C-alpha cells in the first residue's frame, strides 16, 4: 500500500498535507480499504473553526459509519463538493481527487504532533 511521504498522518487514519498554511485533509488509503465502498460523506461548512482532534465530518460505507477528525486546528476554507455526488472518489483516489477539506491552519506547529510517514507505516503494519 502506498503511503505518500509529502504529508503527515493521524493514528485514526486521516492525512494532512501542508502547503504554507493551507492544509489539505482526507482519509488514508488504508482507512478507505478498511471501510469498504463509501456511499456517503458528511462535510463541514466553509468557515467552520475546527480544533485539532475535533470531528470534521462523517464517512459512511457499506460496512460502517466513521467520524473524520481534524489533524490540525484551523478554519475550513474549501470542501470537496464532488464527494456529495461521488463519495467513491475516497476509495478510488484518497490521496488525490478524494481529499475532503482544505483549511487555513491556525497553528502549523501542530504538524509536529502528527505521525511522520514512517511512523504511520509502522502503525498500519502493526494492525495487520
Is residue 91 a part of any domain in this protein?
yes
> Does the pLDDT value for residue 32 go beyond 90?
yes
Average pLDDT over residues 63-80: 96
Dihedral of CA 24/30/33/35: which sign? negative
Is residue 1 a part of any domain in this protein?
no
Is residue 101 a part of any domain in this protein?
yes
Is residue 85 a part of any domain in this protein?
yes
Residue 17 domain boundaries: 8-107
Is residue 28 a part of any domain in this protein?
yes
> Does the pLDDT value for residue 128 go beyond 80?
no
Is residue 115 a part of any domain in this protein?
no
Tell the burial category of 60 from Cβ atoms under 10 Å away from its Cβ (0-12, 13-18, 19+). Answer: middle
Is residue 89 a part of any domain in this protein?
yes
CATH number, residue 13: 2.40.50.100
Is-above-0.75 flag for pTM?
yes
Structural domains counted in the chain? 1
Amino acid at each position: 500500500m502506498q503511503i505518500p511521504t509529502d504529508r503527515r498522518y493521524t493514528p485514526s487514519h486521516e492525512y494532512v498535507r501542508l502547503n504554507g498554511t493551507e492544509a489539505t485533509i482526507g482519509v488514508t488509503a488504508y482507512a478507505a480499504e478498511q471501510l469498504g465502498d463509501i456511499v456517503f460523506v458528511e462535510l463541514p461548512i466553509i468557515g467552520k473553526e475546527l480544533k485539532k482532534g475535533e470531528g470534521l465530518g462523517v464517512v459512511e460505507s457499506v460496512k460502517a459509519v466513521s467520524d473524520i477528525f481534524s489533524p490540525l486546528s484551523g478554519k475550513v476554507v474549501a470542501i470537496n463538493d464532488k464527494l456529495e455526488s461521488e463519495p467513491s472518489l475516497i476509495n478510488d483516489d484518497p490521496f488525490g481527487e478524494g481529499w475532503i477539506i482544505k483549511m487555513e491552519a491556525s497553528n502549523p506547529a501542530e504538524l509536529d504532533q502528527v505521525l511522520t510517514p514512517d511512523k504511520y507505516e509502522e502503525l498500519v503494519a502493526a494492525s495487520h
